[in-house]
Structure formats: structure tokens, C-alpha cells
Amino acid sequence: MHSLRFATSLTSALRIQRALRPASHSFRRTVVTKLYTTDHEVIKFDDETGVGTVSITEYAQKSLGDVVFVELPEKGVTIKQGEPVGAVESVKAASDIYAPVSGDVVRINEELEDQPSLLNKSPEDDGWLFQLELSKREELKGLLSEDAYKKHCES
């Protein structure tokens, strides 16, 4: 599994998302932005609530194989971008989870304690890890778009 970690300043993802936003604010719609890290995490950010849902990517679950244990941050803790906040373990390897952005952990996926295999079956939906209320939205600008992430995986 790649563990390359470097700051990136790709902002095109956000620009594209903004362009897609309806021009009229008369019926405001929630915009969910999906962004990636080089550590193979994905965050779905809901721009209305300010809450992001963190998962590992499909690529990460495939490289890990059978996930048998997930360690998550505790609900209520404040985490800083880039710091290790938990881990996903398969029989083969342990992979740290890093906070993709800073914020307060508001919810964790308790299902994973009994069913860590949800991470293999549905990494980005049922197998989500935790939700956090972002304290520094500007950090999103430093994350990768889906295309940029794909390129990262191929490289």
C-alpha cells in the first residue's frame, strides 16, 4: 500500500464543483464534494452542514485485502489534518488512517466494530469511518480531485 504523503495544491476539483453549483440561491441545494488524499482516504463534504464523512477508497480496500479490524477516533475529539487518528488492519497489513482535514469528530461508524468487512464490501458507503465537523474548510483546497487521485494511484 502506498503511504506517500505530500502536500498538494490542486484546487481544480473545488473549482469544478463550484462551477456546477446552481447560480440561483432561491432554492438552495446541498452540494456534496468528494475529495481524496494521497493516503487513500476520501472525504465527502456537505457544504450546508459543514460535516465531512471520511472513508477509505476502493483502491485502498483492494490493496489491504480482508479487513479484520478497524480502530476509529473517539467521538467528540478534535483532530488535526495529517495526524494519525486510527487504523485499518487486514491479515496482511496495518494501515494508519490520517485526518484528511481538521475538525471535531461528531459520529463514528459503530457497525465496523462487529463488521469490519463492510470496508471491503462498501468502502465508500456502508463502510464509512467517521464524520467530522470541519474547523478549517480551506484545507479542502489542498485535497485531490477524483481524477488527480486516480493518477496518483496509477503512478
Residues 108-127 that bind other proteins (CB under 8 A): none
Distance CA 100, CA 40 (A): 10
Q: Does position 94 bind other proteins by CB under 8 A?
A: yes
Q: Write phi, then psi, for 79 (nearest 5 degrees).
A: -120, 150
Q: Does 87 engage in binding with other proteins (CB under 8 A)?
A: yes
C-alpha separations of 83 from 6, 24, 31, 110, 122 in Å: 13, 38, 27, 21, 25
Residue from 33, 90, 95, 109 that binds other proteins (CB under 8 A)?
A: 90
Q: Which is nearer to other proteins, 16 or 91 (CB)?
A: 91
x-or-dash string of contact with other proteins, 35-74, rule CB under 8 A:
------------------------------xx-xx-x---
Using CA atoms, how far residue 48 sits from 51, 133, 147, 155, in Å, is 8, 11, 24, 34
What are the residues binding other proteins (CB under 8 A)?
A: 65-66, 68-69, 71, 84, 87, 89-92, 94, 96
